[in-house]
Each structure stands twice: as C-alpha cells, then as structure tokens.
Amino acid sequence: MRLAKRVESLPPYLFVEISRKIAERKAKGEDVVSFGIGDPDIPTPPHIIERLCKEARIPANQRYPESEGLPELRKTIANWYQKRFNVTLDPDKEVAPLIGSKEGIAHIALCLLNPGDVALITDPGYPVYTIGTNLAGGTSHYLPISPKNNYLPDLDSIPESVLEKTRVLWLNYPNNPTGAVADLQFFNKAVAFAKKHNICICHDGPYSEVAFDGYTPVSFLQVEGAKDVGIEFHSLSKTYNMTGWRIGMAVGNAEVINSLKTIKSNIDSGIPQAIQYAAIEALTGPQNCIKEHNDVYQRRRDLIVDTLNKMGLEAKMPKASLYIWAKVPNGFTSVEFTNDLLDKVGVVVTPGVGYGQNGEGYIRLSLTIADASLLKGLSRMAQWHDSKNILRPKKV
Ligand SMILES: *Cc1c(COP(=O)(O)O)cnc(C)c1O
C-alpha cells in the first residue's frame, strides 16, 4: 500500500513507544506505576452520569445529533463564560461545541492555514498544535519557553521574515506540560501583537478550573479586543473528569468559529446528544466537585514536589494544571532517565523532549494517579535515587 506523504510528516509519537514498554512489562507480570497520562482518575460526578443515562434512553437522542450542537448547549456555554469570566458570547455565532477539544485543535488548522503558512507554537507544547499544522500543510515556528521567561514566549523576538508568513499563534495557559500560568498583562500584549501582524490567536485553556492555593486562572477572552483576533478552546475533560465522554468547545471570533463549524459539518456529525445534555448538566449543576478534585490534586502536588526536591530533581509547585515539570538528574537525557526509571523500578514518567526540543532536561509527572499508586511510585523513585543496584519490582 502506498500511503500519503502527510502520514510520514507526522512526528514519531514518543508515547507509543512508552505504551509498548509498559505493555511488555505488564505481560511479564511486573507491576508498573504510571505518572504518564493526564487523564483524571476520579470518576465523572454521579449527577452528570445520571443525566447522561436518562438522556440516552430518549429516542430523539439516539438519532444524528445537531452538528452545530444543541442550541441549549451553546447557550449554556455562553452563560458559563459570562458567569465565570464575565465574557459575553453570542451562542449562535461565537460558540462551537467540539467532540473533545483535541478534535477542534487539529481541525482549526484547516480553517486558518494554506500550505506554506506559519503557525507560532511554544516549545515545549502540547503536540497537537504541530500535528494539526502539519496536516494542513503549514509550517511550525517554535517559540522557546523556559524558567528564564516564566514560560511565556518572547513575541518581540520573531524575525520579520517569519511574521510575514505567520497566520496563527498558539498559546496554552495554564500550560501543559510546564504548569505555568499567564496573566491578563501577557494576553494583552499578545492581542496587540496579533492585531499588528494580522495573526489569529488560538488559546487552549482546558486547565482554567484546575488551580491551587486559591489562584484563579483567567481567560484570554477577558482582554479587550481579544474576540477581534482569536478564539479559545475549552473542554469538560479536565474540569469534570469527562475525558471519556469527548466534549469541549471553541469560542470567540465569529468568522473563525463559523469556518470551524463549516469544516466540521463536512467531516463529523456532531456530539452524541446524550453527552451534550450531560455537558449542560455539568456546566449548570452543582460545582462543588471542582474544589473537591482540586483539593485532591493539590495534596498530591505537594507530596510529589516535596519528594522530587528531596531527591534533587528540581521542581516548582505549579499554581494550576495537572502537571509537575521537573528537572532530570545530571548525566541523563530526559529519555535516558525515563527509560532507566522504568527499567529499574517500574515507574513511568513522560520525557520532556516529547513536547519539543526545549523540553529536553525535564520530565512531566501527572497528578491524575490514585493515592495508593502515587505513594508506591514515589517510594520507588526514592529507591532509584538511593541505590544504583536496584532490584526489579517483585512479580505479582
Ligand atoms: C487534555 C488537553 C486537551 C484536550 O482535551 P480534550 O479531552 O480533547 O477536550 C487540549 N489541550 C491540552 C493542552 C490538554 O492538555
């Protein structure tokens, strides 16, 4: 079979290799503790599941969904933005429900990029920004983010020759994988930059509700004029532990939202309606689950960061997101360290280089790991640290 070149243009997916290694060890009966994937371990709150089940039984919800999303869902999303961020959205023109935000993040490139056009993407960053860009025939220009710039890209450092071809700027705060946050001052600067150079900002904000120590993340759309130059992606996945149900949204600039709806109406047929009603339930029902989950994550965060710092793996307490971004010990690349941890003590962490060249020297640990496994994982990491002659984990 001869496959299209764009398949080959996809970067090798590091996580596939990690999954293969985990499967290999599990097949040998070894027990593996994973800090790998950012996928909430706590179940979807029961009132949301109740609604989902109830709606699934209704015949009208068993047919093709409305591709643009139920009007009631779009209205609910607009109301939520008003209440949470004081951002006003037109539910008919400025809201597009998505089959999980990853889907929209990949498809938006088809709306904004012609072959040869450039997307500005932070390095490290969530891989889908680059992948969507590649699939649309665009080119990624990477903006390094590091502790030196508080993990915010330097928008003044981009060469004029790149800016001429640039159509998109990807931002993501609270940030995956670094846990960094951005304030309105930075977003203000980004909006002015986008206006000046006629660039569309795509802000990805799935972690706006996952925050600690009383910190409240902002929306990019809170900046005056943001809607003129961009859109924001959001998701119910991380806020309400709904990764398995696949529902998110893009909101903001009407022209861009309309183009995304047009592309999508030709590719998919919308979100199963019972899931749309579950999302309405999530956004309008009791919100105490958010604080409860954040308390759990915060406790895990403190435990992980303290343990890592004691081991000499420098890590800061993130104010938001589900991730700890930690330095690897001297003498290891991020992949070498990740492999060694898995080989010696059966612990999985994600190598920073999987999020871009600038992620080298770091690992990412996710907070979505049940308490018992977390304690076991940390004690195994301490074991790794204490000894170079570590025994393999016992077979179960
Ligand atoms: C989890 C995540 C998403 C995607 O979430 P969906 O489940 O597809 O809604 C998007 N962006 C970032 C940065 C994420 O970490």
CATH number at residue 243: 3.40.640.10
For residues 186 and 294, membership in a common domain is answered with no
Helix residue ranges per DSSP H, the chain? 5-8, 14-27, 46-56, 71-85, 101-112, 128-135, 160-163, 184-197, 226-229, 254-265, 273-284, 288-310, 334-345, 371-386
Span from the CA of 312 to the centroid of ligand 1 (angstroms): 30
pLDDT for 390 beyond 60: no
Tell whether 396 is covered by a domain.
no
Range 74-92 average pLDDT? 98
For residues 259 and 305, membership in a common domain is answered with no
The model's pLDDT over 95-107, given as tens digits with 9 standing for 90+, comes to 999 999 999 999 9
For residues 57 and 179, membership in a common domain is answered with yes
Residue 368's CATH number:
3.90.1150.10
The model's pLDDT over 133-162, given as tens digits with 9 standing for 90+, comes to 999 999 999 999 999 999 999 999 999 999
For residues 307 and 273, membership in a common domain is answered with no
Strands 95-98 and 118-123: unpaired
For residues 238 and 329, membership in a common domain is answered with no
pLDDT for 7 beyond 70: yes
Domain boundary among 255, 284, 313: 284
Tokens representing 265 are: 């109406």
Candidate of 108, 171, 204 to mutate for ligand 1, largest count of ligand atoms within 8 Å of Cβ: 204
Range 353-367 average pLDDT? 96
Residue 16 has a pLDDT of 77
For residues 93 and 204, membership in a common domain is answered with yes
Tell whether 94 is covered by a domain.
yes
Candidate of 237, 239, 241 to mutate for ligand 1, largest count of ligand atoms within 8 Å of Cβ: 237
Spatial distance between the Cα atoms of 54 and 97, rounded to a whole number of angstroms: 21
pLDDT for 130 beyond 50: yes
Span from the CA of 206 to the centroid of ligand 1 (angstroms): 6
Candidate of 103, 107, 126, 245 to mutate for ligand 1, largest count of ligand atoms within 8 Å of Cβ: 126
Span from the CA of 76 to the centroid of ligand 1 (angstroms): 20
Span from the CA of 222 to the centroid of ligand 1 (angstroms): 21
Per the structure, the count of domains in the chain is: 2
Domain residues for the domain of 346 are 5-44+288-387
Domain boundary among 234, 266, 284: 284
- Dihedral over Cα of 274, 250, 82, 236: its sign: positive
| Ligand 1, pocket residues at CB < 6 Å | 38, 100-102, 126, 172, 176, 204, 206, 235, 237-238, 243, 248
pLDDT bucket at 6, cuts 50 / 70 / 90? confident
Percent of the chain with pLDDT over 70: 97
Span from the CA of 29 to the centroid of ligand 1 (angstroms): 32
Alpha carbon nearest to ligand 1 atom 2, residue: 206
For residues 304 and 256, membership in a common domain is answered with no
Alpha carbon nearest to ligand 1 atom 4, residue: 102
Tokens representing 354 are: 């999987």
For residues 192 and 129, membership in a common domain is answered with yes
Residue 172, Cβ density class (10 Å: 0-12 exposed, 13-18 middle, ≥19 buried):
buried
For residues 225 and 305, membership in a common domain is answered with no
Percent of the chain with pLDDT over 90: 87
Spatial distance between the Cα atoms of 259 and 182, rounded to a whole number of angstroms: 28
247 Cβ contact list (under 8 Å, min separation 6): 97, 98, 99, 100, 235, 236, 237, 271, 275, 276, 278, 279
Tell whether 321 is covered by a domain.
yes
**What's the pTM value of the predicted model, to 2 decimals?**
0.95
Provide the 3-class DSSP secondary structure of residue 230: strand
For residues 276 and 248, membership in a common domain is answered with yes
pLDDT for 214 beyond 50: yes
Span from the CA of 389 to the centroid of ligand 1 (angstroms): 39
Span from the CA of 176 to the centroid of ligand 1 (angstroms): 9
The string of DSSP letters for 272-328 reads -HHHHHHHHHHHHS--HHHHHHHHHHHHHHHHHHHHHHHTT--B---SBSSEEEEEP
For residues 192 and 86, membership in a common domain is answered with yes
Tell whether 394 is covered by a domain.
no
pLDDT bucket at 392, cuts 50 / 70 / 90? very low
Domain boundary among 267, 284, 301: 284
For residues 75 and 210, membership in a common domain is answered with yes
Tell whether 125 is covered by a domain.
yes
Range 86-98 average pLDDT? 98
Tell whether 395 is covered by a domain.
no
177 Cβ contact list (under 8 Å, min separation 6): 124, 126, 323, 325, 350, 352, 355, 359, 362, 364
Candidate of 238, 240, 268 to mutate for ligand 1, largest count of ligand atoms within 8 Å of Cβ: 238
Q: What value, to the nearest 5°, has the Cα angle with vertex 97 and ends 95 and 103?
A: 125
